A = this chain, B = another copy of it.
């Protein structure tokens, strides 16, 4: 159901740490000016050595203007010793899993607030199966990435079990990361070498 319909049904109140009136105001503003919905997210990365790199997330574009996070967020990534790295950070494929849980969880927070449900606990786990014969170049029949990913949510709040399940379902239906991971996205890579 569209968020506007929900707004019409009840007066929004801040809930679950969500500024629900502001959330609805934002949705209405974007509804009136769809160009505000055009965002561009960015990251940069600097190779340190071996499989170790340092990534940075700092600026983005959206709501019609250049934006900047309150601070730059820096993340080391590496391979563990068993994969011939120094374990100075998680593996890149683990950052995918972090992205997935964080996206579904943020959606749950927002949707529960919009539906007037007070949450008391949302915890999740994810596991991804991968056969490294792909990336190690040992088999062309094995894909490089995850073969399957399983997510499990525990959710508690002041609503019946069925309503809590529907909140998770709606988050999945509107999750940007879930969409990208399940449907894929075109990725273009250009190289300046020299």
CB of A84 within 8 Å of the partner chain: yes
With CB as the reference atom, state the residue of chain B lying closest to A43: B97
Cα A189 to Cα B167 in complex, Å, equals: 13
Cβ contact of A27, chosen from B19, B136, B145, B191, cutoff 8 A: B136
Residues in B with CB closer than 8 Å to A90 are: 57, 69, 73
Q: Does B133 contact A43, Cβ atoms closer than 8 Å?
A: no
Q: Which of A15-51 contact B (CB under 8 A)?
A: 16-19, 22-23, 26-27, 30-31, 34, 37-51
Cα A55 to Cα B125 in complex, Å, equals: 9
Total interface residues on A, CB under 8 Å, equals 135
Task: Write the A76-103 contact mask toward B (1 if CB under 8 angstroms, else 0).
Answer: 0111101111010111111111111111
Known contacts A27-B137, A186-B149: does B84 contact A22 (CB below 8 Å)? Answer: yes
Residues in B with CB closer than 8 Å to A119 are: 47
Task: Write the A147-186 contact mask toward B (1 if CB under 8 angstroms, else 0).
Answer: 1111111111000011011001100101111111111111
Residues in B with CB closer than 8 Å to A162 are: 193
Cα A186 to Cα B93 in complex, Å, equals: 15
Known contacts A23-B84, A93-B41: does B190 contact A30 (CB below 8 Å)? Answer: no
Cβ contact of A104, chosen from B62, B164, B189, cutoff 8 A: B189
Task: Determine how close the nearest CB of chain B comes to the CB of A13; give it in whole angstroms.
Answer: 14
Cβ contact of A138, chosen from B37, B101, B128, B172, cutoff 8 A: B37
Task: Write the A131-142 contact mask toward B (1 if CB under 8 angstroms, else 0).
Answer: 111111111001
Give the B-binding residues of A (Cβ under 8 A).
Answer: 2-3, 16-19, 22-23, 26-27, 30-31, 34, 37-53, 55, 57, 60, 62-63, 67, 69-70, 73, 75, 77-80, 82-85, 87, 89-110, 113, 119, 121-139, 142-156, 161-162, 164-165, 168-169, 172, 174-194
